Amino acid sequence: MDNLAPLAKAHIPILAVIGDADEVVPVSENINLVETRYQALGGKIQVIRKPGGKHHPHSLVDPTPIVDFALLAAQATATPASSGSR
């Protein structure tokens, strides 16, 4: 949480899937701070909040939003060399 600047500077997007009732990793002490700090540094962060969700399970019933985030992030960081163009 205290080393976000290099990630923001490198334009690394962050996705967090959290339960808003997590008692193991309290939202107010963790992802809320990360989200605020990362945005202040100019970083892109998407937080998917599962209403009433606890610490487990970590994923979503429908993983489509996670896949979509990963695909968009990959497209945004693709270079001509890595995308097959020569």
Dihedral angle, C-alpha 26, 58, 31, 8, nearest 10 °: 160
Q: How far apart are CA 70 and CA 59, in angstroms?
A: 14
Token pair listed for 12 = 């690394």
Q: Over the chain, what is the mean pLDDT?
A: 91
* 39 pLDDT more than 60: yes
Supply the pLDDT for residue 86: 45
Q: What is the predicted pLDDT for the residue at 84?
A: 53
pLDDT in tens, 10-38: 999 999 999 999 999 999 999 999 999 99
Q: How much is the pTM?
A: 0.83
- pLDDT over 90 for what percent of the chain? 81
